[in-house]
A and B are shown apart, each in its own frame.
Chain A
């Protein structure tokens, strides 16, 4: 096997991973609006479980970490620890304006400026708070990245690329240029 990830067992694992991503949600100091939108995703109107997306309580079971909100100084080390517990391959979604830049809390004394100062972020979802369909779009974007990473044999190939940002209209980036 010259190219990694092309064996039958590897293909099976990545197929299963893509069909049912498990996510864990970490509130790093948000105002809870983002968390309510995630709860709205679980409710019958959006019902993300029909796509196989499950919200798990433990980071050890998860593939995708959704970080809601700006990162306070106290939560920074905890967020790092939660991120370290997720098994590879792992993806991080920074949710909302706070996750990208601090939002209305930008420049305060008690916070880090954004999530990517603490953990590497793969997808930013814009909005304050983002709508549930944008959250689903962010997770699907992560799955697209997972597929491309499996084809390239790792995450290193997009180190120089900026992370895709989903437009507020929900058009969806999803594809890395």
Chain B
């Protein structure tokens, strides 16, 4: 007989990876560090049944970027594994080897926030246009479009009324 996994079991198991907090009913947030993230996902997949990735969301907190990996399983719980990265060295190991759908989210985050995912098989542009300038990440809070920068697309003459 399979022993049902309860909320207490999840909290007990995930305590090894960082602080566990029950944000609200059916949602658990685990604050962990980048080195333990891979093990945390493997553990939650193998032992607790969190085997699907909902999405990866990113928050720009000013000094740091916060990555949230939302996992869901047949238990009607969503577990958010939260990782903080320093802004000046935003690099993290990819999880697309254990969660293949994560690859496409990581490419999008790489486009819009400039976070580098090490070990990703093809980290190229997905959502911005191909001739978008390098090192411009539009969802960073401190980004402003430069008035003289060409952001790709088709060049058009400005009308007189635009000036």
Which residues of A come within 8 Å of B, CB atoms? 72-74, 76-77, 80, 109-110, 112-113, 117-118
Contacts of B151 in A (CB 8 A): 73, 109-110
Q: Is B138 an interface residue (CB 8 A)?
A: yes
List 17 A-B residue pairs with CB atoms under 8 Å apart, sorted by A's residue number: A72-B153, A73-B129, A73-B152, A73-B153, A74-B128, A74-B129, A74-B130, A74-B152, A76-B129, A77-B154, A109-B151, A110-B128, A110-B138, A110-B151, A117-B154, A117-B156, A118-B154
Supply 11 further A-B pairs (C-beta < 8 A) apart from A76-B129, A118-B154: A72-B129, A73-B129, A73-B151, A74-B129, A74-B153, A76-B153, A77-B153, A80-B154, A110-B128, A110-B138, A112-B156
| Residues of A with C-beta under 8 A to B162 | 113
Q: How far is the CB of B146 from chain A (nearest CB, A)?
A: 10
Min CB distance, B22 to chain A, in Å?
Answer: 36
Q: Which residues of B contact A (CB under 8 A)?
A: 127-130, 132, 138, 145, 151-154, 156, 162
User: Is the CB–CB distance between B156 and A73 below 8 Å?
Assistant: no
In the complex the two chains form, is B138's CB within 8 Å of A112's CB? no
Distance in angstroms between the alpha carbons of A80 and B155 in the assembled complex = 12
Q: How far is the CA of A77 from the CA of B151 in the complex (A)?
A: 13
> A112 to B128, Cβ gap below 8 A?
no
CA distance A118 to B151 in the complex (A): 16
- B140 CB to nearest chain A CB (Å): 13
Note all chain B residues with C-beta closer than 8 A to A72: 129, 153
Which A residues lie within 8 Å of B153 (CB)?
Answer: 72-74, 76-77, 112
By a CB distance below 8 angstroms, the chain B residues around A118 are 154
> Closest residue to A117 on the B side, CB-wise?
B156
